[in-house]
Amino acid sequence: MIKKILVSQPKPMSEKSPYFDIAERFGVDLVFRPFIKVEGLTPKEFRQQKISILDYTAIVFTSRHAIDNFFTLAKDMRVVIPEDMKYFCITETIALYIQKYVQYRKRKVFFGSTGKIDDLIPTMVKHKTEKFLVPMSDVHNDNVTRLLDAKKLNHTECVMYRTVSNDFTPEEIEAFDYDMLVFFSPAGIESLIKNFPDFNQNNISIATFGPATAKAVKDAGLRLDLEAPSEKYPSMTSALLHYLNEHQG
């Protein structure tokens, strides 16, 4: 019987989140507690990459983390971002987030509609004279590099932030009494093992989102009870709903 579920993500901002419907429907206690957190590089660490922000005329943002850390680093290094800097974002939501730091002008902010970098490329090609800088996490693949190379765009990728374990306090470790753990990245599994080196799964169910996270569970020698997405259940909440329907009796 599952009574208490730990979801390794921040608590949803909207009260209409399907997670709250699940909690009410099955009478389960849902706790939102990220196992990982993002921290920015220091100016000293960034300078080791020998990149000067002002050498570029356009910035490509793939997440809010990228925006936060780009502007924080610029401020810490006393770099004044020119008003004619162009910004290319993978979604409108991310584009609008830029307003937190600069005055939003449609003529210098461009965005895609699908949330995939592929969808943004045609817009970038229309501005192929720009020099693009792409802020990234320390953990990333070469997809962006390959796509921009294929279109012969002038670009440079740089690391501006990293994912680290969001360590548990001794009190949290002592009170760790969950029936199910829900993970969304391999880094979350690494954090579990780091925080609980003697972790014994026993009857604790583990759910994962994405093939890389599922692989990390198996590689750690743990039992995977629920894997999403699937053709039938494209989101973690829909998969969780089905799982609880089957197992709560």
pLDDT single digits (tens) 221-242: 999 999 999 999 999 999 999 9
Say whether pLDDT at 215 is over 80: yes
Mean pLDDT, rounded, of the chain? 94
Structure token digits, residue 245: 């329907």
Give the domain 4-35+172-247 fold.
Rossmann fold (3.40.50)
Strand, coil or helix: what is 211? Answer: helix
Give the domain 39-163 fold.
Rossmann fold (3.40.50)
Instruction: Report which residue type is found at 39.
Output: E
Task: Encode pLDDT of 14-45 as tens digits.
Answer: 888 999 999 999 999 999 999 999 999 999 99
Instruction: Give how far Cα 71 sits from Cα of 67, 81, 134, 160, Å.
Output: 6, 9, 13, 10
Local structure of residue 129 (DSSP, 8 states): T
Local structure of residue 197 (DSSP, 8 states): T
CA 41 to chain centre: 17
Structure token digits, residue 151: 């279109």
Across residues 204-225, what is the average pLDDT? 96
Across residues 126-139, what is the average pLDDT? 94
Instruction: Give how far Cα 16 sits from Cα of 20, 110, 209, 220, Å.
Output: 7, 29, 21, 35
C-alpha–C-alpha distance, residues 44 and 184, integer Å:
31
pTM recorded for the entire structure: 0.75
Instruction: Give how far Cα 41 sits from Cα of 37, 66, 140, Å.
Output: 13, 11, 15
Q: Give pLDDT, residue 249.
A: 59
Domain with CATH 3.40.50.10090 in the chain: 4-35+172-247, 39-163
- Output the DSSP codes for 40-105: EPPHHHHHTT---GGG-SEEEESSHHHHHHHHHHHHHTTPPPPTT-EEEESSHHHHHHGGGTS---
